[in-house]
Amino acid sequence: MEIWQPKEGRRRLDMAVHRIIEAQAARAGDATAIADAGITLSYRELNQRANAVARHLIAHGFKRGGLATVCQPRAAETAVVLLGILKAGGTYVLIDCGATNDASWPRGVSFAEKNEGDEVRYRTVDIASALQQAPRSAANLPIVARESDVACVIADRDGAPTLVPHATIMSLQHRAAPPLAEWSGEAGALDLWAGLMSGATVTLNAPALRAAA
């Protein structure tokens, strides 16, 4: 398994991807963060909804350092879910549900949890209910975030898993030039984070997303 490290000479920050987005929400909360087929989310709304998702996951047993599998259509809600996983101290794997015929992948967010006797079982959490019912709070979670923490797992050209730490994603911060950026639905969501960390409005590439959903 490979770890995708940032290039030498890149600026390193003692923080994580979601901390940069939280700062953006505090600085320019009314600015538009996500634009998706008539749905828009400001940075404040994105941050508050992601806080709700993070607390919902934790309430259902998700722990810092956990690996969460996300299987759902690419949309504004997906960005909220991925940010919520990072806020909960987790790592995400974004599954292309439309491209796989494996019915074993349930829609939603799934993660492993240990029971007595070290038995491992998988739990799938209904994120829709969290977005609809959970109270939205501007209070960010106090979970320790480190740039060395793994943010996501993606596949390399040969299909082998590659670990992508927060530091690597943060090195892309200025790749997207405001005011607009685009997320094509690629599994690492690296374009999504590059745009949000730069304060851009991230639009969802509809043709690419339809192919990835």
Question: Has residue 211 got a pLDDT over 50?
Answer: no
**Full domain range(s) for residue 157:** 2-208
Distance CA 155, CA 162 (A): 6
Residue 33 lies in a domain: yes
Residue 121 lies in a domain: yes
| Residue 177: partners with Cβ closer than 8 Å, 6 or more residues away | 198, 200
Q: Give the N- to C-terminal CA distance of the chain in Å, as an integer.
A: 26
Question: Has residue 13 got a pLDDT over 50?
Answer: no
Name the band, by pLDDT with cuts 50, 70 and 90, for residue 32.
very high
Residue 156 lies in a domain: yes
Give ∠ CA 66-79-102 in degrees, rounded to 5.
65
Which helix or strand (DSSP H or E) is residue 93 part of? strand 91-95
Question: Has residue 8 got a pLDDT over 70?
Answer: no
What's the pLDDT tens digit per position in 62-108? 999 999 988 877 678 889 999 999 999 999 998 866 555 555 566 77
pLDDT of residue 201: 92
| Residue 105: partners with Cβ closer than 8 Å, 6 or more residues away | 69, 71, 95, 97
Q: pTM of the predicted model, to two decimals?
A: 0.84
Residue 21 lies in a domain: yes
pLDDT of residue 19: 94
Residue 213 lies in a domain: no
Residue 98 lies in a domain: yes
Record the tokens describing residue 44, joined without a space: 């404040």
Question: Has residue 203 got a pLDDT over 80?
Answer: yes
Q: What secondary structure letter does DSSP report for 158?
A: T
Residue 16 lies in a domain: yes
Give the CATH number, domain containing residue 122. Answer: 3.40.50.12780
User: How many distinct structural domains can be found in the chain?
Assistant: 1
What's the pLDDT tens digit per position in 116-148? 556 667 778 877 777 776 667 889 999 888 899
pLDDT of residue 210: 37
pLDDT of residue 24: 94
Phi and psi of 5, rounded to 5°? Answer: -95, 150
Residue 130 lies in a domain: yes
